[in-house]
Structure 1
């Protein structure tokens, strides 16, 4: 993803999400220090839109719990050994669809 794409995502979703989550005015935005997140273009947009950003250390897997989630996801995807996107989709959906059938269309853990 390029920094311009990231700004577009922020423009489209950040303020809408804040409203939907009813965060009020005292919310703080957190992001990692990926270069596209810390670029001048992004910093300017955040400043112009008065977004308060939480300062965060570089590559702190112990603090960035999402990194652990990504690692687990990667491990599970690799275990299914897909060779293309179609296989990836099919292999990830099988368990999910089984649960949907089991719960007769009601909520599942997915």
Structure 2
């Protein structure tokens, strides 16, 4: 199995980071502090953007929340309900990656080939795809509220 961590904004795709071990709070914090934070400071130097993550245990751990509190002037952390895939636009990007890999002939035959295919697929996601996902957030939120937390078309 290959585990990857990715991020995106309306402007661009962020790095795709291979997670070598299980994603726990320490690994998640390391990715955020060492990879995400410098990118956010460079792309949004005025701290005028939001960072969205779900409430997986490794995202919601005390050490991660404390780090975000210490850096609250750099960007705003959006809070949202756990297990809410309708509000998680990155899931759609992972679907794009999976579709691209399923179309490969021949299919990746080992973990190294799979890792390479994942990175290639990630890098070829069209800009319009992630821009539409960002633009869809107000509609997603409205749909989830209207469905009172139930399923939506997203």
Q: TM-score, normalised to structure 2's length?
A: 0.49
Query: What is the Cα-based RMSD across aligned positions, in Å?
Result: 2.9
Which blocks of at least 5 consecutive residues in structure 2 are unaligned? 1-22, 128-154
Which of these residues, 22, 26, 42, is aligned with residue 64 of structure 2? 42
Deviations 1:64-100 (A, max 9, x none): 221112123123323433220344337x86xx9xxxx
- The 3-state SS of whatever aligns with 1:16 is helix
Greater per-residue strand proportion = 2
Indicate if the aligned counterparts of 1:18 and 1:24 stay in contact, CA closer than 8 A.
no
TM-score after normalising by structure 1: 0.64
**Rg (Cα) greater in structure:** 1
Gaps of 5+ in 1: 97-108
- Whole-angstrom distance in 2 between the partners of 1:15 and 1:82: 33
Provide the rounded CA distance (Å) in 2 between the counterparts of 1:66 and 1:14: 15
Residue 84 of structure 1 corresponds to which residue in structure 2? 110
In 1, Cα distance between equivalents of 2:97 and 2:83: 18
By relative contact order (CA 8 Å, sep 6+), the higher-ranking structure is 2
State whether structure 2 residue 99 is matched by structure 1 residue 75.
Answer: yes
